[in-house]
Structure 1
Amino acid sequence: MGESPIRLMVFFDFLCPFCDRANTWLNQVSEQLGERLILEWRFFALEQLNAPVNSDWKIWEQSDDYTTHVMGGRTEFRGLLALWGTVAAQQQGDAASGRFRNALFRARHDEQLDMSQRDAIQQIAEQVGLDMARFTHDFRDRSLLEVLRRDYEEGRARLSGFGGTDAVS
């Protein structure tokens, strides 16, 4: 009788450096355990978590130009396009999504990628070998942003009282 696989639901945001570290570590663990570990990557937008209490603001409802803002004299990058791009990559399967997620984490945290530029996100997709016609179409499909809402709300329900990423359930 074989062992049941370990199933981990990982809530993440590309803006979080701890999620970058967790991604690297979980990839190493996954290589060692193989099919005995099933990782389910879920979106948990920190910008949504940090929205004012009782606000109607939702990251998944923001316009395509919701990318950066200046706070305290420095530019802060928004995470919407990175998350949206990852949902688009998911449409091409788990392997494609994993390559894209790993490359985007590296680009953001090792190379300080400006995630506010749609072209930069598309360049990552091309570098990891995604079908670019499909990716470009899906990266414009606002209905895919529903995944951000669903994952965020599931994360809030599962992780009641938790205040950030990375989180594993």
Structure 2
Amino acid sequence: MTHSQAPLTLVVWSDYVCPFCYLEVPELDVLADRFGPQLNIEWRAFELRPAPVPTLDPDGDYLHDIWARAVYPMARERNMTLRLPSLQPRSRLAHEAAKWTMDHAAFPALHHELFRGFFEDSLDLASPDALIDTARRLGLDEGSLSRHLAEGRYRDAVLKDQQDASHWGLNGVPAMLLLREGEALDNIQGAQSRDHLIQTVARFI
């Protein structure tokens, strides 16, 4: 296989408290179906407001304004249901839980449920109990997740993802980096249309 024939990797940094990251999920699912084995999609953690950075005020003007101007219109365009959450938790534990599922072949289910739970039901992503209950409802090993969260087993992996984003000059999410055999070909920042994503990847296939 020549270098130009090697599969592409699309590394996606996202945060579970970022509505635009959730809105991009179905577009990336279409991308995966469209290109099949020619494209590997890898999800990475990016905490928008790690401690001690203050979290946003769930009742503040900023969130209400951006949801009215951008989130709700995009959700309607993509036929998705999002509600402005009643809380704005830190997301590190949710990222740690997602990392845990990568070692248990259960990432897609929990990944989707964390997004859906937060943006439809105001799931408290900072609560170990809420995360463990979510895993239990999905039929996952709640005891194992509980132990790993308590021990911070995946904390370094989450921090490494954040450091990698900084290395590539990515400071917000959603952010995507298109690679072939470790070589950066292009980067995509912000929520993008399906057509734009397809055209960007197709240039390098």
Contact 2:133–2:142 at 8 Å: present in 1 too? no
Tell me the distance in 2 between the aligned counterparts of 1:72 and 1:105.
17
In the alignment, what sits opposite 2:108?
98
Task: State which of 128, 142, 150 in structure 2 corresponds to 1:132.
Answer: 142
How far apart are residue 97 of structure 1 and its match? 1.1
Q: How does 1:35-54 map to 2 (within 5 A)?
A: 35-48=37-50
- Length-normalised TM-score, structure 2: 0.63
Equivalent pairs, count: 149
Tell me the distance in 2 between the aligned counterparts of 1:73 and 1:17.
16
Relative to structure 1, the CA distance from residue 134 to residue 19 in structure 2 (aligned partners, 3 Å threshold; closer, same or farther) is same
In the alignment, what sits opposite 2:175?
167
* AA aligned opposite 2:113: A
How far apart are residue 70 of structure 1 and its match? 8.1
Tell me the distance in 1 between the aligned counterparts of 2:102 and 2:49.
22
SS of the residue corresponding to residue 20 of structure 2 reads: helix
Q: How does 1:1-169 map to 2 (within 5 A)?
A: 3-48=5-50, 71=57, 75-93=87-105, 96-158=106-168, 160=169, 162-169=170-177
Relative to structure 1, the CA distance from residue 152 to residue 27 in structure 2 (aligned partners, 3 Å threshold; closer, same or farther) is same
SS of the residue corresponding to residue 114 of structure 1 reads: coil
Aligned-residue sequence identity (percent) comes to: 24
* AA aligned opposite 2:95: L
Between structure 1 and structure 2, the one with the greater Rg is 2
| 1:101-128 residue CA offsets vs partner (Å, 9 max, x unmatched) | 0111111112222223222111221222
Of the structure 1 ranges 73-82 and 145-154, higher mean CA displacement relative to structure 2 is found in 73-82
| 1:112-152 residue CA offsets vs partner (Å, 9 max, x unmatched) | 22223222111221222222232222222213200111111
- Length-normalised TM-score, structure 1: 0.75
What CA RMSD, in Å, does the superposition of the two structures yield over aligned residues? 2.6
Where does structure 2 lack aligned partners over 5 or more consecutive residues? 61-86, 178-205
